[in-house]
Amino acid sequence: MNHNLYLQFQTHFDQQPDKVLMATTGGEAYTYANVQDTAMKMAGALRRLGVTQSDRVVVQVEKSAQALMLYLACLRAGAVYLPLNTAYTDNEVAYFMQDAEPHLVVCDPSRRKGHQALAEAHGVAHVETLDTRAGGSLMEKVAQEAPDQTIAKLEADDLAAILYTSGTTGRSKGAMLSHQNLAANSQALVDTWQFTQDDHLLHALPIFHTHGLFVACNIILTAGASMTLLPGFDAEALLSLMPKATVLMGVPTFYTRLLDQPGLDRTSTATMRLFISGSAPLLAETHRAFKARTGHTILERYGMTETNMNTSNPYDGERRPGTVGFALPGSEVRVVDRDSGAELPAGQNGLVEVRGPNVFQGYWRMPEKTREEFRSDGFFITGDLGMIDDEGYLHIVGRDKDLVISGGYNVYPKEIEQFIDELPGVNESAVIGLPHPDLGEGVAAAVVLNEDAKVTEDDIITALAPHLARYKQPRRVVFVDELPRNVMGKVQKNALREAYADLYRAGTAVPSE
């Protein structure tokens, strides 16, 4: 049997070639036949560039229909798709090139020079470009190709993608996702959320993360449905497109921003059947306000890069604010005692662990790290803290891992602290997430300076800019005489979060926002 994920989509390519699969806000429309034809030619171009099965293809491009065709081409060729956040600086990209050893890197034409230099330094064979108007050196090659008919024959555990997720040590880890991981999860979601060919998704998420790539696109392709690609979140554009759509997937910031739109009401959302939220906690008040304005109950679900989606509120049953629902079909979720690892009864807080066909194959070239995060019975330790209530709903109550989620993007404090600590005049630092009205959490740094050092907030923010993606950079830096520590000497980030809880709250002046 061939376990290639592409085969899960194949019937729709065969049976509805003339149906539009992807429309763009720029007015383009790509049918299932158009998409498959380009994906086949791209697969041919990949082979001609020497990409073979299990070779990594690093992709750092702006969102476009062609970028998704490249994802499909990699699936067909059996190559491992490795998307990168477009906000990553060359400094950040260098690590991924060195760690993943790709055969090919595809980037935006504006980044070619930097990527070429990095590719030479790290022995990457080829750099090609792809822009948002179906142009770039890769598309020139595609234009010369005939459709490549082969679909690589793969085992269930063969890798489809590697998605990097930062670690608490500050070193990014590549989560290895197999064809089966992705196939099983998208099928479970199609079933749970009752997707059909008649659905039309408004796609405003980035396509380099699990949410926008696998949850959104794999579902549409598995169901044989269609979508409109927006370049990014735009509340007005979403509202104007809603009358032609049935589903929206977003991070909580999407919903708080939509609520700021006077046009959001029952009429503008009348054709919609489902609003889904995930990647960060949705405040119960957002949930209720959205229901009051539109009559729609947002469906919240919970996932991770390593595990795809784990739980979801029910489609038909009660969708409870402040909870992430039940394990998806085929997956298991439990809450255990942090120290003993024993499963806890309903109502008690502990570590959330998951098991199932959705759970990844381990971290790329980090067998030790992989072992540390799995129990001997195959459960993966998520690092989230949760509680399962009497009726079986999972509540995410906090995080055991030191992680900030800003507008749905993960920021690992250690990575930022390492940069700040090396700046002249800095003794030490602690990076924290503080309540932020738009982003859920905003990144902030508490810094202890060396005696007599004259370093300003601006100095620190400016010094970080060339090294770190914008979303990771603290918007505010506060100076403290010393970091609060417990008797073991561990920095008490909770105390800092409490002391500065109002830093980003409405009414507080926040420079550079």
Residue 410 touching ligand AMP (CB under 6 A): yes
* Residue 309 C-beta: closest distance to ligand AMP, Å: 9
Residue 324 touching ligand AMP (CB under 6 A): yes
Neighbouring-strand partners of residue 315: none
CA–CA distances in Å: residue 186 to residues 45, 269, 338, 391, 507 = 28, 25, 31, 26, 42
- Name residue, tokens 């796609």: 203
Contact 430, 491 (CB under 8 A): yes
Stretch that binds ligand MCA, among 29-37, 290-298, 400-408, 420-428 (CB under 6 A): 400-408
Distance between CA atoms of residues 138 and 15, nearest Å: 29
Residue 176 touching ligand AMP (CB under 6 A): no
Neighbouring-strand partners of residue 106: 59, 128
Contact 179, 186 (CB under 8 A): no
Residue 387 touching ligand AMP (CB under 6 A): no
Residue 474 touching ligand MCA (CB under 6 A): no
- Out of 304, 328, 344, 503, the only residue in the binding site for ligand AMP (CB under 6 A) is 304
Contact 108, 61 (CB under 8 A): yes
* Residue 359 C-beta: closest distance to ligand AMP, Å: 13
Segment 225 to 254, residues that bind ligand MCA, using CB under 6 A: 232-233, 251, 253
Residue 357 touching ligand AMP (CB under 6 A): no
- Out of 408, 413, 433, 474, the only residue in the binding site for ligand MCA (CB under 6 A) is 408
Task: Give the Cβ contact number of residue 497 at 10 Å.
Answer: 18
* Residue 183 C-beta: closest distance to ligand MCA, Å: 17
The four Cα atoms 152, 156, 157, 160 give a dihedral, to 10 degrees, of: 50
Half-sphere exposure at residue 274, Cβ-oriented, CA atoms within 13 angstroms: 24
DSSP secondary structure string, 161-187? EEEEE--TTS--EEEEEEHHHHHHHHH
Please, which residue, 50 or 232, has the CB nearer to ligand MCA?
232
- Out of 280, 381, 443, 468, the only residue in the binding site for ligand AMP (CB under 6 A) is 280
Q: Which does 211 bind (CB under 5 to 8 A by kind): ligand MCA, ligand AMP, none?
A: ligand MCA
Q: Which does 38 bind (CB under 5 to 8 A by kind): ligand AMP, ligand MCA, none?
A: none
DSSP 236: H
Instruction: Spell out, one character per residue from 277 to 316, where the chain touches ligand MCA: x when CB under 6 A holds, - when not.
Output: -xx-----------------------xxx-----------
Sheet holding 126-129, edge to edge: 126-129, 104-107, 56-60, 80-83, 159-165, 173-178
* Residue 357 C-beta: closest distance to ligand AMP, Å: 18
* Residue 504 C-beta: closest distance to ligand MCA, Å: 11
In this structure, the chain runs to a length of 513
- Out of 211, 319, 320, 395, the only residue in the binding site for ligand MCA (CB under 6 A) is 211
Size of the site for ligand AMP (CB under 6 A): 18
The 3 state secondary structure assigned to 126-143 is EEEECCCCCCCHHHHHHH
Residue 60 touching ligand AMP (CB under 6 A): no
- Name residue, tokens 């050893």: 101
Question: Residue 429: what residue type?
Answer: S
Residue nearest to ligand MCA (CB): 407
> Angle formed by the axes of helices 65-77 and 6-15, to 10°?
120
Residue 164 touching ligand MCA (CB under 6 A): no
- Name residue, tokens 């072992």: 371
Residue 364 touching ligand MCA (CB under 6 A): no
Residue 6 touching ligand AMP (CB under 6 A): no
> Would you tell me which residues interact with ligand AMP (CB under 6 A)?
165, 210, 278-281, 300, 302-305, 324, 382, 384, 396, 399, 405, 410
